[in-house]
Amino acid sequence: MTAATQLRSVVVEREVPHPPEKIWRALTQPHLIQEWLMKNDFQPKVGHGFKLHGDWGSVDCEVLEVEANRSLAYTWSAMGLESTVTWTLTPSGAGTHLRMEQAGFRPDQEQAYRGAHFGWQKFFASLEEVLARAA
């Protein structure tokens, strides 16, 4: 087995009762990202480097892919973890099928993997609150 096949991902999928355009704004507008994720200097431009700032420290990121209202991907580098976060928005009958995958956890990063599992559940709950009240 190669090292690449041992990498794990955290995946969260939800049916969200909002159109992709509204979710896209929450994923790409810095003031909205701050409400559900962390303080940031995000810009939806491929190659843009940005930081996410939390109480515990910061995450270095770089935008890899931007397809408005459909997909967004960026690197997520913090405390030895080199991973990629990919958001996929698919229109559905109820609104949007929202999928987030954070890929790149090595076998020796069990704590980071478990932390991400827990953290993304909280972030998704906060994202849904922001969507419920955002215009």
Task: Give residue 55's pLDDT.
Answer: 86
In a domain, 3, yes or no: no
pLDDT tens digit sequence for 28-66: 999 999 999 999 999 999 999 999 999 888 999 999 999
In a domain, 128, yes or no: yes
pLDDT > 90: percent of the chain: 90
Task: Give residue 1's pLDDT.
Answer: 46
pLDDT tens digit sequence for 16-27: 999 999 999 999
> In this structure, what CATH number is given to the domain that contains residue 14?
3.30.530.20
In a domain, 29, yes or no: yes
In a domain, 18, yes or no: yes
Counting the structural domains of the chain, the total is: 1
pLDDT tens digit sequence for 1-17: 455 568 999 999 999 99
Q: What is the 3-state secondary structure (H, E, C) of the chain?
A: CCHHHHCEEEEEEEEECCCHHHHHHHHHCHHHHHHHCCEECCCCCCCCEEEEEECCEEEEEEEEEEECCCEEEEEEEECCEEEEEEEEEEEECCEEEEEEEEEEECCCCHHHHHHHHHHHHHHHHHHHHHHHHCC
Q: Which domain holds residue 29?
A: 9-133
